[in-house]
Every structure is written in structure tokens, then in C-alpha cells.
Amino acid sequence: MRRCLVTFALIALGSAALGADVTVTTTSTLEGAMAPMMPGAAPSTTMRIKGMKVRLDMGVMGQGFATITDVSTKRIIMLMSPQKTAQVMDMAAGTLPFPLPTMDITLEPSGQTQNIDGRHCDGFTYAMTMDMAQMMTLSPQIPKEAAEMLKDVKMVMKGMIWIATDGPGVEEYRTLQKAATLVNLPFGTVGGAPGTPAQGNLNQMMQLFGKDQGGGIPYLTQMEMRYEGTGPMIDMLNQMGTVKITTKVTEVSTAILDDEAFTVPPDYTFRR
């Protein structure tokens, strides 16, 4: 379950990046026939940024966890609040405690603009494809029979991302977003370590946000999730239809943040 949460965080962080003394709060909703079968699967996030440090608190699938990232050292600390444990991931060393799935990602400007909550937003078309068989490597407790049924199934997500290019917090957010890209640390939480499966395409997406397009706050994400492939599992999934996922920024604050939010609580135990 912990590995699945990390993977979900990677996807969610496609809708939340980096900044400096900025707090960005987002909420997500699910629509479609499968939505009632996935209670709590839509994450809510609060990202707090101070200097070169970023803390992300996320609630998903009935569980909560947090990550603290130091962009300058490329060190990530994962906090699991139910167990009161902390795990350090040294991205500078080029290693992760578990593999990440490869994702094929494209992001292209649509030429569209709109005003959202008083902010000018540029539109981008977005698409991501991931082999479900790779997800099984993150959850070894899943029976081999189930993994076999998913070996030819792909999860496909397509939609629009609206990037806010003005307003409070955008310049700070953009500055650290570019800094994270330059040190090969996309999403502020995981990814970007040489040799990890998620390396290439996640970096490519962040480079589009952080360099080519000038960056900004992903303010609204609207996408549809469906499955493609062959076999009995795809037939069942197709009967359930497409899931619509909407993620929206609900608040942006530039208030000064407390340093304690970026440290491991004293009652937590470090684990390997």
C-alpha cells in the first residue's frame, strides 16, 4: 500500500509543483461509474514551500502521508503518520528503495486561455499511459493470478491542464520549479534519479513546465481515465466506463511558514 501511495503522489504532483514560502491547497473529485467503488481515491493535497524545501501533505485511499524535499541536497523524507515512521531517500545517490513505473507522458500547449478565480491560465493538453503490470511490481502482495490478468492492460489518462501564470505565489513557485528541473528533481517528491524507470518522461514533462513554457501553478486539471488492452480484465474494466478526475487549486497563500513543518517530528522512528 505504501508504494501505491507514492505512485499516486507522483500522478497527483503533476498538478502541483514547487515554489518559495508559498502554500498551495488542492482538492480532487472523481466522477463516473467506478467512482463509488473507489472511495477516498481522489487525493487532497497541501504543499508548503520555504526556500529550497518543500513539504507535501496528502490524503488518499483513507490514508495520510507527507514528504519533505530539500531541493538543494536532493534528499526526500517520507513521513507515514499512522506508523510515526520516516524514510530517507537520497536522490543524489541515484537510488530508490523500490522501483517506479515507467509513464509515457505528453504535454502540449493548446493555444487556449481562460480566467479561473481571477487568474490568467494557459491551457495544455495532457496524456499519460502506464502499464498496469508495472503497478503490480509495487504491490507484491497482489496474487500472481491477478497480475497475469493485468499484464496486457494499460491505464490511459487524457485531458487538460490549466497553468496560472500570474497572481500571488506564481513567481516564487516558478523559480523553484525551474531549480528542481535543473538539478534533475521533478515533482519535488520522487523521480529524476539516474537509472530509475520513471526518469525520462517525467523529466520531459517537468522541463515543459519549468523551461520551455515558462512554468506556473497548475491551477485546474481535467482528465479522463480509462483502460486499454486485451483479455477478460479489460472487458470488465470497460463495462465500468470512464472515470473523470478534476483537480483544482482551492487556495494559494504567501504567508511566512514555520521551519518546524520541514523537520521530522521527534516522536518519529527512522526506517530503512
Count of residues making up the chain: 272
Cα-Cα-Cα-Cα dihedral sign, residues 163, 166, 171, 173: negative
Tell me: pLDDT of 191 over 60. no
Distance between CA atoms of 92 and 73, rounded to whole angstroms?
A: 7
Q: Confirm whether 49 is domain-assigned.
A: yes
Taking residues 40-65, what's their average pLDDT? 79
Q: Confirm whether 269 is domain-assigned.
A: no
Phi, psi of 3 (to 5 degrees): -65, -35
Cell reading at 48? 508548503
Confidence of residue 201 (pLDDT cuts 50, 70, 90): very low
Q: Confirm whether 271 is domain-assigned.
A: no
pLDDT of residue 10: 43
pTM equals 0.75
Confidence of residue 39 (pLDDT cuts 50, 70, 90): low
pLDDT of residue 111: 92
Q: What domain count does the chain have?
A: 1
Q: Confirm whether 170 is domain-assigned.
A: yes
Tell me: pLDDT of 192 over 60. no
Burial (Cβ within 10 Å: 0-12, 13-18, ≥19) of residue 232: exposed
Tell me: pLDDT of 18 over 50. no
Parent domain of 196: 2-255
Cβ contacts of 165 within 8 Å, gap of 6 or more: 119, 120, 121, 122, 214, 216
Q: Confirm whether 262 is domain-assigned.
A: no
Distance between CA atoms of 60 and 138, rounded to whole angstroms?
A: 17
Cell reading at 199? 526518469
Q: Which of 1-5, 32-36, 46-50 has the highest mean pLDDT?
A: 46-50
Taking residues 192-200, what's their average pLDDT? 32
Higher pLDDT, 262 or 82: 262
Q: Confirm whether 261 is domain-assigned.
A: no
Q: Confirm whether 260 is domain-assigned.
A: no
